[in-house]
Structure 1
Amino acid sequence: MADAVLFEFLHTEMVAELWAPDPDPGSGGKKKSLSVLEGLGFRVGQALGERLPRETLAFREEVDALRFLCKDLWAAMFQKHMDGLRTNHQGTYVLQDNSFPLLIAMGSGPQYLEEAPKFLAFTCGLLCGALHTLGFQSLVTASVASLPACNLQALEGHMCFRQGNEKTARVPGGGAVP
């Protein structure tokens, strides 16, 4: 329990520090902040993946790797399993968490939905980094229709973060993260 609370405090402080208002509105400060949060998550996901037992790293199918993320990695990070994993059998997977721990503390309402992307960027990077270590290149996006639920979508290609249809940041997945 204490580990979960410490992680939530660390995550909140990390978001608050990196989401500082940019004095130059034309420099894309929010996009850069999302990229930095995703980059941190990517590195943490890689580190978690490198500490996995060797037999875990031998996934041959994407769906097996994603099942592992939904059950084992999610339980290690948030002390719970994901609520759902769906696929279209063409390389797109939707991971659903109806009580995402990093969004539970937020209120409900449209004004809070605008704040949700900054709390999901680190997690998108974390999943992308873990998938990279497992040998899968991915594009991880997140969307929030209602708080505290979130949908994470894993695709092949690059990692990026989205809320709805608006793309807000992009970091090369599998390559060097700034």
Structure 2
Amino acid sequence: ICVKVKREKQRSQWIEGLEKQSQSDNTEFTGNLDLMKQLFVQGNAETRLESIGYRVGIVMVEKIAKDLPRFNTELDKMKFLCKEFWTIAFGKQVDNLRTNHQGVYVVQDNHFFVLLSFAEGKQYCEQAAVYLAVPSGIIRGALANMGIKSLVTATVETLPAVKFHIHMQ
């Protein structure tokens, strides 16, 4: 019983200390909590959109490549992605494809249709990330259906140009 009383006393002292500390840090904590909620909601939305795009990409490659011969090399698969697939999915071929021959490809589209309605300049580059989640997922899904596990990230330096960085895994 004596040990139980000591633990209850220690517990109540600990809680009082936390309450005092939280009262002094309440405004900072509330600001951080709001920021964390905003980041979680945005990250969750981007994840959902990327997942939707992933499923779309898988189905699109099934439909587009059903009558084509199998692609043997990674480079053949990337060429298919940049020419035939990109034309059907995004309305034109890519403007540039680069690789470091170590599993990293950079696909550049200088007039990406999703971002054409954005005002040119750098002020909206950060907001463009949400709009590029679905296309990134489409690319990742297309590659997954061709047997390539990858990580696809999109970067925007100036609108409406986009660079998709594809890291093979």
TM-score by length of structure 2 reads 0.74
Structure (1 or 2) with the larger CA radius of gyration: 2
Conserved? CA contact 1:124–1:141, under 8 Å? yes
Match of 2:36 in 1: 26
1:53-68 to structure 2, matched below 5 A, reads: 53-54=65-66, 56=68, 58-68=70-80
Segments of 4+ moved more than 4 angstroms? none
Letter in 1 for 2:70: A
State the secondary structure of the residue aligned to 1:146.
coil
Asked if 2 retains the 8 angstrom alpha-carbon contact of 1:57 and 1:134, the reply is no
Deviation by residue 1:96-120 (Cα, 9 ceiling, x = unmatched): 0001111011002332112110111
| Identical positions, percent | 40
From 138, 141, 144, the equivalent of 1:129 is 141
**What's the secondary structure of 1:112's corresponding residue?**
coil
The aligned residue for residue 118 of structure 1 is 130
| 1:11-38 deviation line (CA, Å, top 9, x unaligned) | xxxxxxxxxxxxx653410000100010
For 1:70-90, what per-residue CA distance to the aligned partner results, in whole angstroms no more than 9, with x for missing partners? Answer: 111111122211001111111
Aligned position for 2:51: 39
RMSD: 1.7
Aligned partner of 1:139 in structure 2 is 151
Residues 134 and 57 from structure 1, CA distance in 2 versus in 1: closer, same or farther, beyond 3 angstroms? Answer: farther
| In structure 2, distance between residues paired with 1:121 and 1:134 | 20
Distance 2:68 2:166 in 1: 19
SS at match of 1:111: coil
Unpaired segments ≥5 residues, structure 1:
1-23, 158-178
Residue 98 of structure 1 aligns with which residue? 110
**How many residues are treated as equivalent by the alignment?**
135
Instruction: Give the partner amino acid of 1:147.
Output: L
